[in-house]
Structure 1
Amino acid sequence: MTRNVLEAQINYFYYPGTKTPALENINLDIKKGEIVVITGGGASGKTTLAYCLCGAIPNFVEGDYNGSVSLKDKGLDDKDISSISLPKLAKDIGLVLEDPQNQLFHLSVEEDVAFGPGNLMLPKDEIKNRVEKALSSVGLENYRHRNPETLSGGEAQRVVLASILALNQDILILDLPAGELDPLGRKQIYQNLKKLCHQENKTMIMIEDRFDEVIDFASRYIVLKNGNIVIDQDADYFWADENLDKLNSLGIRIPSNIGTRTDELRDKTNYKTDNTDDLNDNKNKIKAFEPIIKIQNLSHYYPSGECGIKDVNLDIGRKEFISLIGKNGAGKTTLAKHIVKLLTPTEGTVILDNKPLEEYRRLQLANKIGYMFQNPEWQIFKNTVFEQIEYSLEIQGVSNEERKIKVNKLLQNLGIENVAELHPYRLSKGNIQLLGIASALINDPDVIIMDEPCNGVDYNTTLKIMNLLRKLSNKDRSVILITHDIEMALKYSDRIIMLDDSKVIFDDSPLEFTSEFTTNPQILETEAH
């Protein structure tokens, strides 16, 4: 019989200042060689459980904790891991957090990946070999000398994963390890993780909300709701047809490659908007929209000499819903930052409402364009969610009463009114995303730019965000969505723009994109490394 490597009995855990437990009544055994997927809705306790299983709770993360997690058969006499120092635990358990940029701190990719093995005081040649193997596993062999600050979100995520793989730990706990990767990047990473686990009998615990890439090798699924385990099943039964209704009711995103009822279940929950006919018709052809933004001969080169975008010419229409797709590092965010004047073009210009961007003051531009960063944590500087959202209104002299009405309405529309008085850094990843969206929308801008707004949120919240953006587009707002979620892009967009190697390589309707992909699958191979 396969032995347990982790045994957890967690009675409860409360974050400071909260009255509702983040976890309670958790009884969980993890066996050697298992590949376990943990999923669930927003703020269901997934990341908190990961912190408990690796010892970050209670050794590092503060809170009211009652429970124990034991690491088995490691010469530690089955001690509760709360009594083991984190450096000692790091030899056996690796944790990849959902925000990669917070885990990189060296001046080169190679140094970041070598940091862990170096702290284990391994021989120099062993460190070099581990770094090379780890970078190869994540497809970054040619990135070793890049400064992590110059990487895209997906590239940074690969570096963090390489840093953990270089430690060669027996237990890997991965929190959305491919959440910021392009579709083929996700496929590549999970294929390599599958190979690693099978060849070296690793135990892997993954937090994931999209399952197409893991369904052929995950051995067990655990679903959390309100801090409790509500499903714990072997993979063979989890995706069985008779189980899908329950999963659907829990907001689990049904993969496209399982069962006979996938389309039926998706039709029950997906794409419900106030303008169903518009949503169904938007795929057929590009409509004629009056331009609100004109991008002319736009190029940008970073100080390192790296090309961000090259000779981009685009018109963005009023009421148009555009999805901007492409591999990690293709230039999507660079293009978006030019539209909001966060970067200065090396060549070319951006015109907004028939006026060049350089003629707009910052506050004027903020009222015209709402922008959500790929990492909305970077936009946080207030002590409560409410204060963060109202700040833009406050500096414009909007009255207290009007600010209160506008902020509360937006909080309710996004379903986060219950966290209004919390500090933003107390929020789950999904709620931080919703906070970023709220901050971008509070001024009721003409143009809305969202950089991966659904990253880290559960499926029901993804649908809520997409329906909201579609509704805003139908009400004379222009929406530019940067995304790797091709399914959502095809369903909700009027137009798909694809970048590769800093240039626009596709610009047409969702229907034409689907046709091109069907007849020429190589169009998406540009998203592979």
Structure 2
Amino acid sequence: MKAVEAEQTMKTMQHIDNALELHNVSYHYPNSMEPSLRNISLTVDKGKFVGLMGATGAGKTTLSLCLNGLIPQLLEGKLMGQVIVAGLDVRKTAVQSLSKILGLVLQDPETQIIGRTVEEDTAFGPRNFLVPLEEIKRRVNQTLEKVRLQGYNKRLTQELSGGEKQRLAIAGVLVMEPEILVLDEPTSELDPVGRSEIFETLDDLRRQKELTIMLVEHSSEELIKKADEVVVLNQGEVVWRGVPTELFRNIPLLRQYGIKPLPVSLIGWAFYERGWVPFDEIPLDIPSAEHLVRDLLPRHGQWRDNLQSLQHLQPQKTDSFQAQKEGAVRIRDLIYQYNSGQPALRGINLTIATGEFVALIGQNGAGKSTLAKHLNGLLKPTCGDVIVEGMNTLKYDTAHLSKTIGYVFQNPDHQIFSVTVEKELEYGLKNAGFKGQEIKERVDQVLKSTGLERYRHVHPFTLGKGERQLIAVASILVIKPKLLIIDEPTTGSDWAGVQTMMALISQLHLAGTTIVMISHDMDLVAQYAQRVIVLKDGGILLDGSPRDVFSKEELLLDAAIVPPQLCRLSSRLKDVLFQETLIEPEEFIALFENGRVTGR
């Protein structure tokens, strides 16, 4: 035993500058034919901020689990190669010992929350390592403030929103004051301001305490500002490594590996393809995009007609739906309080027309999911009325409402329980009274349209979160609901998965289904929604078209919402865009069509 400890100490001294080392690491999950990781060799210097990116199923989560010893010590399978963390071999070091050095924030925050209250949960780690009580109190309060949960100490964890749970999971790891922090999509359920604050917190910790950070992330805008380098995985292999600016300017490479491009970079790439700008001038932020657009814009009179004809670029935003007299949803004076007495909704009045595509946005805890759960009877009003498709939800149970109203949860695991994907899709149809051939035809059709056919006989929980989200949506699609409520439909999905999901939702909408979507992805909201409703503190702050709502930047920031990148760019170009708010790259590119710009 002493010989092993001596060996470990010697390695620690030899690799003091290396926080993480992986040498020819490969891993097979139990019963898996293909490896999830293939010959990965990677070194991360102490104090570096590294982004880990790639398509769903690329191996990012698996790699994260290797770093704190869960693979191979808890999860079985075949691990080959060597993983060294702060000089310690993960095969020879207990997980509990590694947890003092490396903190891991998992993709699903609910798997890490075990305390009854926010305070109890955050204090759990330090208590297990016998940290003195006063020090625990200091750490807990300091950490909760860093993740914007100050004042939540006594709040019940079961009453937290998805984003609040995500912040709590981060707090539970930060409070341990690790040397290395590995986070698996820690901001996927956070509001835009919350996402930015987490990145600021991580960057501050990195600089103040020389904290090493490896962050698995699909979002590009924040990562490009903070990461020293990005590592891209594809099918378990490292396929690219370098500085973020080189990656995010290369739009074909991003598309190849399932990474979402920055909207301003899409504009710059179009200009680059036309030969108007060199590669290294493709913008990666709003100031550089503003400079580029101003530099390329001709005189106002030459492109005014182009600006006025931009509406054809977004046919999905036209008022093509026929609003019925009563509407799909009518909410009057809705008030809701949790059992603890905590108010969640405060006098909501709202009508949603049949066939509308409505997005609910707002900061974590604003009441979005609480409001949505009233639409299918999962929650009943404390006061007021909710009438959906002519039914007062107080008078009908959820089973009856579900025949007309589809609901996809923020966490797909809350509604998946069958042993195969096929059986999961059949379940809702059987409960709704469908039989035999019609069930088979509907299931076959949806499996094909969603791309899930290859997983027909696979257990859902052997698939990634993005695929499980798609299964949850598919299980609702087979019922063909009149109203679809979908809570964060793209969480955990790569860019290709996001596009697949939104294409499915759009097809339903075009077929006449009313859509109510909750999302923190403002780019998607701007691109797909006809109407945007902003919630703040349980009430409606704004209600209007995407162009109208996203033009009110100051009001939105008060609700922890940052408008889409292109809307912010539009705001900075108001003097030349005649107050018009543009929300898609094609709209900016259209300003330069017909050969009106030939160079600089």
TM-score by length of 1: 0.91
Tell me if structure 1 keeps the 8 A contact 2:421–2:458.
Answer: yes
Say which of 131, 136, 139 aligns to 1:130: 139
Tell me if structure 2 keeps the 8 A contact 1:255–1:262.
Answer: no
Tell me whether 1:106 sits opposite 2:115 in the alignment: yes
Measure, in 2, the Cα distance between the counterparts of 1:147 and 1:311. Answer: 23
Residue 492 of structure 2 is matched in structure 1 by: 456
Cα 1:258–1:335 change in 2 (3 A) is: same
Measure, in 1, the Cα distance between the counterparts of 2:215 and 2:145. Answer: 21
User: How far did residue 260 of structure 1 move?
Assistant: 6.4
Measure, in 2, the Cα distance between the counterparts of 1:422 and 1:443. Answer: 21
Q: CA offsets per residue over residues 419-458 of structure 1, 9 Å max, x none?
A: 2322222111111111111122220111111000101101
Measure, in 1, the Cα distance between the counterparts of 2:368 and 2:211. Answer: 36
Structure 2 residue matching 1:27: 3-state secondary structure = strand
Residue 20 of structure 2 is matched in structure 1 by: 6
Tell me whether 1:502 sits opposite 2:535 in the alignment: no
Residue 68 of structure 1 is matched in structure 2 by: 82
Cα 1:522–1:363 change in 2 (3 A) is: closer
Q: Which amino acid aligns with 1:210?
A: S
Structure 2 residue matching 1:471: 3-state secondary structure = helix
Cα 1:442–1:264 change in 2 (3 A) is: farther
Measure, in 1, the Cα distance between the counterparts of 2:404 and 2:531. Answer: 21
Tell me whether 1:244 sits opposite 2:282 in the alignment: no
Q: CA offsets per residue over residues 194-231 of structure 1, 9 Å max, x none?
A: 11101111110000000211211201111111222211
Residue 296 of structure 2 is matched in structure 1 by: none
Q: Which amino acid aligns with 1:94?
A: G
Q: After alignment, is 40-49 or 20-29 more displaced?
A: 20-29
Say which of 500, 508, 523 aligns to 2:556: 523
Structure 1 residue matching 2:38: 3-state secondary structure = strand
Measure, in 2, the Cα distance between the counterparts of 1:317 and 1:256. Answer: 31
Q: CA offsets per residue over residues 452-474 of structure 1, 9 Å max, x none?
A: 01011011111111122122111
Measure, in 2, the Cα distance between the counterparts of 1:112 and 1:58. Answer: 27
Q: CA offsets per residue over residues 159-202 of structure 1, 9 Å max, x none?
A: 11111111111110000111110001101111111111011111
Tell me if structure 1 keeps the 8 A contact 2:16–2:86.
Answer: no
User: How far did residue 287 of structure 1 move?
Assistant: 6.8
Residue 504 of structure 2 is matched in structure 1 by: 468
Tell me if structure 2 keeps the 8 A contact 1:284–1:510.
Answer: no
Tell me whether 1:296 sits opposite 2:310 in the alignment: no
Tell me whether 1:93 sits opposite 2:129 in the alignment: no
Measure, in 2, the Cα distance between the counterparts of 1:86 and 1:42. Answer: 26
Measure, in 1, the Cα distance between the counterparts of 2:347 and 2:23. Answer: 58
Tell me if structure 2 keeps the 8 A contact 1:184–1:525.
Answer: no
User: How far did residue 482 of structure 1 move?
Assistant: 0.3
Residue 273 of structure 1 is matched in structure 2 by: none
Tell me if structure 1 keeps the 8 A contact 2:418–2:424.
Answer: yes
Measure, in 1, the Cα distance between the counterparts of 2:168 and 2:269. Answer: 34
Q: CA offsets per residue over residues 244-293 of structure 1, 9 Å max, x none?
A: 32123322111246586256799xxxxxxxxx988704447797622122
Residue 511 of structure 1 is matched in structure 2 by: 547
Residue 373 of structure 1 is matched in structure 2 by: 409
Q: CA offsets per residue over residues 113-143 of structure 1, 9 Å max, x none?
A: 1111111112222212211221111111111
Tell me if structure 2 keeps the 8 A contact 1:385–1:420.
Answer: yes
Tell me if structure 1 keeps the 8 A contact 2:181–2:211.
Answer: yes
Matched pairs, number: 510
Residue 226 of structure 2 is matched in structure 1 by: 217
Structure 1 residue matching 2:503: 3-state secondary structure = helix
Residue 41 of structure 2 is matched in structure 1 by: 27
User: How far did residue 352 of structure 1 move?
Assistant: 2.4
Cα 1:45–1:330 change in 2 (3 A) is: same
Tell me if structure 2 keeps the 8 A contact 1:34–1:203.
Answer: yes
Residue 234 of structure 1 is matched in structure 2 by: 243
Measure, in 1, the Cα distance between the counterparts of 2:526 and 2:270. Answer: 16
Structure 2 residue matching 1:168: 3-state secondary structure = coil
User: How far did residue 72 of structure 1 move?
Assistant: 3.8
Measure, in 2, the Cα distance between the counterparts of 1:63 and 1:410. Answer: 33
Cα 1:265–1:181 change in 2 (3 A) is: farther
Segments of structure 2 that go 5 or more residues without pairing to the other structure are 1-14, 274-309, 563-600
Structure 2 residue matching 1:33: 3-state secondary structure = coil
TM-score by length of 2: 0.81
User: How far did residue 489 of structure 1 move?
Assistant: 0.4
Structure 2 residue matching 1:367: 3-state secondary structure = coil
Residue 412 of structure 1 is matched in structure 2 by: 448
The share of aligned pairs that are identical, in percent, is: 36
Measure, in 1, the Cα distance between the counterparts of 2:431 and 2:162. Answer: 31
Alignment of 1:233-312 (within 5 A): 233-239=242-248, 241=249, 243-256=250-263, 261=268, 280-283=314-317, 289-290=323-324, 291-312=327-348
Measure, in 2, the Cα distance between the counterparts of 1:402 and 1:354. Answer: 27
Tell me if structure 1 keeps the 8 A contact 2:199–2:226.
Answer: no
Structure 1 residue matching 2:43: 3-state secondary structure = strand
Cα 1:528–1:141 change in 2 (3 A) is: farther
Measure, in 1, the Cα distance between the counterparts of 2:270 and 2:409. Answer: 33
Measure, in 1, the Cα distance between the counterparts of 2:234 and 2:272. Answer: 20
Say which of 169, 192, 201 aligns to 1:183: 192
Measure, in 1, the Cα distance between the counterparts of 2:266 and 2:526. Answer: 22
User: How far did residue 82 of structure 1 move?
Assistant: 1.6
Cα 1:464–1:124 change in 2 (3 A) is: same
Tell me if structure 1 keeps the 8 A contact 2:531–2:546.
Answer: yes
Q: Which amino acid aligns with 1:19?
A: M
Task: State the structure with more CA Rg.
Answer: 2
Structure 1 residue matching 2:481: 3-state secondary structure = coil
User: How far did residue 364 of structure 1 move?
Assistant: 3.2
User: How far did residue 68 of structure 1 move?
Assistant: 2.1
Q: Which amino acid aligns with 2:80?
A: N
Measure, in 2, the Cα distance between the counterparts of 1:377 and 1:137. Answer: 29
Q: Which amino acid aligns with 1:526?
A: A
Measure, in 1, the Cα distance between the counterparts of 2:269 and 2:131. Answer: 49
Measure, in 1, the Cα distance between the counterparts of 2:441 and 2:76. Answer: 34
Residue 139 of structure 1 is matched in structure 2 by: 148
Structure 2 residue matching 1:167: 3-state secondary structure = coil
User: How far did residue 42 of structure 1 move?
Assistant: 1.3
Q: Which amino acid aligns with 2:251?
A: L
Residue 590 of structure 2 is matched in structure 1 by: none
Tell me if structure 1 keeps the 8 A contact 2:362–2:561.
Answer: no
Measure, in 2, the Cα distance between the counterparts of 1:262 and 1:148. Answer: 45
Tell me if structure 2 keeps the 8 A contact 1:285–1:509.
Answer: no
Alignment of 1:328-367 (within 5 A): 328-367=364-403
Residue 272 of structure 1 is matched in structure 2 by: none
Tell me whether 1:206 sits opposite 2:215 in the alignment: yes
Measure, in 2, the Cα distance between the counterparts of 1:39 and 1:422. Answer: 26
Tell me if structure 2 keeps the 8 A contact 1:248–1:265.
Answer: no
Q: CA offsets per residue over residues 34-82 of structure 1, 9 Å max, x none?
A: 1111111111111111111221111112223323201244xx4xxx302
Residue 270 of structure 1 is matched in structure 2 by: none
Tell me if structure 2 keeps the 8 A contact 1:372–1:451.
Answer: yes
User: How far did residue 5 of structure 1 move?
Assistant: 1.8
Say which of 156, 160, 171 aligns to 1:162: 171
User: How far did residue 25 of structure 1 move?
Assistant: 1.9
User: How far did residue 108 of structure 1 move?
Assistant: 1.1
Alignment of 1:370-409 (within 5 A): 370-409=406-445
Tell me if structure 1 keeps the 8 A contact 2:532–2:545.
Answer: yes
Cα 1:412–1:285 change in 2 (3 A) is: closer
Tell me if structure 1 keeps the 8 A contact 2:104–2:173.
Answer: yes
Cα 1:396–1:303 change in 2 (3 A) is: closer
Tell me how large the CA RMSD over aligned residues is: 2.4
